[in-house]
Structure 1
Amino acid sequence: MLVVAVGCGEKNPVKEISAAQSGVEVRDTLVDSADLPTLHWNQWRGGSIDGVVEDREVATNWGESQNVRWKLDVPGRGHGSPIVVGDVVYLATAINDKQQQLVLAYDRKTGDQRWRREVHAGQFPSQRSIHNKSTNANGTIACDGQRLYIGFLNNDKVMVSALGLDGEIVWQKEAGLFVSKFGYAVSPILYKSLVIVAADNMGGGYITAMDGQTGEIAWRVARGNISSYSSPTVANVGGRDQLLISGCDAVTSYDPATGKQLWRTECISEATCGTIVSTDNLLFASGGYPDKETVCLSAAGEILWSNRTKIYEPSMVLLGDELIGVSDDGVANCWSVTDGKQVWRKRLGGNFSASPIVCNDTVYVSDLSGNTHVFKSVDGEFQSIATNQVGTDCYASPAVADTEIYLRVGVGSGDDRTENLVCIKTASPAI
Structure 2
Amino acid sequence: MMTKKINLSAFIFFFFILVSCQSEQQNWTHFRGSNMDGHANVETAPLHWSDTENVVWKVPVKGLGWSSPVVFDGQVWVTSAEEDGTEFYVSCFDLNSGELLSEKTLFNSEEPQRIHPTNSYATPTPCIEKGRVYVHYGSFGTASIDTKSFEVIWKRDDMPCEHMQGPASSPIIYKDKLIVHLEGTEDPYVVALDKETGEIIWKSVRPKEIYDPLQPVFRKSYQTPIVVTVNGRDLLISNSSFMCFAHDVNTGEVIWTFQYGDDSTVSQPLFYNGLVFINSGWIFEDGKPNFTREFAINPTGKGDVTETHQVWMYEDEVPQIPTPVIVDDKMYMVHDRGMVTCLDAMTGKVIWKEKLRGNFNSSPIYAGGNIYFINVKGFCTIIKPGDSFEKVAENDLGETVKAIPVFVGDKMLLRTQNNLFSIKSVRL
TM range (shorter): 0.7 to 0.9
Q: Post-superposition shift, 1:175?
A: 6.2
Q: What CA distance in whole angstroms lies between the structure 1 residues aligned with 2:37 and 2:84?
A: 35
Which residue of structure 1 lines up, in the alignment, with residue 405 of structure 2? 398
> What is the deviation of 1:201?
0.9
Structure 1: runs of 5 or more not aligned: 1-33, 411-418
Q: TM-score, normalised by structure 2?
A: 0.84
> Which amino acid is 1:164 matched to?
D
Deviation at 1:236, TM superposition (A): 2.5
Structure 1 residue aligned with 2:423 = 424
**2:203 aligned with 1:215:** no
CA contact (8 A) 1:368 1:393 kept: yes
Displacement after TM superposition at 1:174 (Å): 4.2
| In structure 2, distance between residues paired with 1:61 and 1:261 | 46
| C-alpha distance in 2 between matches for 1:124 and 1:409 | 27
The answer to whether the Cα contact below 8 Å between 2:241 and 2:280 also exists between their aligned partners in 1 is: no
- Between the aligned partners of 1:312 and 1:141, the Cα distance in structure 2 is 21
Q: 2:6 maps to what in 1?
A: none
Call closer, same or farther: CA 1:287–1:353 in 2, change over 3 Å: farther
For structure 1, which segment, 349-358 or 228-237, has the greater mean C-alpha deviation from structure 2 after superposition?
A: 228-237
Q: Which runs of 4+ in 1 moved over 4 A?
A: none
Q: For 2:55 and 2:232, locate their aligned partners in 1 and report how far apart those are by CA, in whole Å.
A: 42
- What does the per-residue CA deviation read over 1:316-342, in whole Å, with 9 as the maximum and x for residues that have no partner? 111110011111000111100111100
1:180-199 equivalent positions in 2, closer than 5 A: 180-199=163-182
Kept in 2: contact 1:363–1:376 (CA 8 A): yes
Match for residue 338 of structure 2 among 330, 333, 336: 330
The answer to whether the 8 A contact 1:376-1:383 is kept is yes
Counterpart of 2:295 in structure 1 is 295
Match of 1:92 in 2: 79
Which residue does the alignment assign to 2:3?
none
Could you say which residue in structure 1 is the equivalent of 2:115?
A: 130
Following the alignment from structure 2 to structure 1, what is the Cα–Cα distance between the partners of residues 181 and 406?
A: 22
- The 5 Å alignment of 1:340-351 reads 340-351=348-359
Answer yes or no: is 1:143 the counterpart of 2:122: no
Contact persistence 1:204–1:222 (CA under 8 A): yes
Counterpart CA distance in 1 for 2:173 and 2:322 is 21
Q: Which segment is superposed worse, 184-193 or 59-68?
A: 59-68
CA-to-aligned-CA distance 1:22-70 (integer Å, 9 cap, x gap): xxxxxxxxxxxx9xx8771011111111111224111112112221111
TM-score by length of 1: 0.84
Larger fraction in helix: 2
Equivalent pair of 1:236/1:280 in contact (CA under 8 Å)? no
Distance in 2 separating the partners of 1:343 and 1:98: 44
Identical columns (%): 26
Structure 1 position 255, deviation (Å): 1.0
| Alpha-carbon separation, structure 2, partners of 1:364 and 1:269 | 30
**Residue 202 in structure 1 maps to residue 209 in structure 2:** no
In structure 2, the residue matched to 1:112 is 99
Letter in 1 for 2:383: F
- Asked if residue 359 in structure 1 is aligned to residue 367 in structure 2, the reply is yes
Check conservation: 2:85, 2:112, Cα contact below 8 A: no
Q: How many residues align?
A: 379
Q: Bigger CA drift: 38-47 or 382-391?
A: 38-47
Rg: which structure is higher? 2
Rounded Cα–Cα distance in structure 2 between residues aligned with 1:305 and 1:341: 9
For 1:77, the equivalent position in structure 2 comes to: 64
Once superposed, what is the RMSD of the aligned Cα atoms? 1.9
Task: Choose which of 375, 396, 399 in structure 1 pairs with 2:383.
Answer: 375
Moved more, 239-248 or 275-284: 239-248
| Equivalent-residue separation in structure 2 for 1:319 and 1:290 (angstroms) | 27
Q: Match for residue 169 of structure 1?
A: 152
Q: Offset at 1:199? A: 1.4
- The gaps in structure 2 that reach 5 residues or longer are 1-19, 213-218, 285-291
- Deviation of 1:164 (Å): 0.9
User: How far off its partner does 1:97 sit?
Assistant: 5.4
Q: Aligned partners of 1:182 and 1:422: how far apart in 2?
A: 28
User: 1:230 touches 1:275 (CA, 8 Å); kept in 2?
Assistant: yes
Aligned pair in 2 of structure 1 residues 427, 383: CA closer, same or farther (>3 Å)? closer
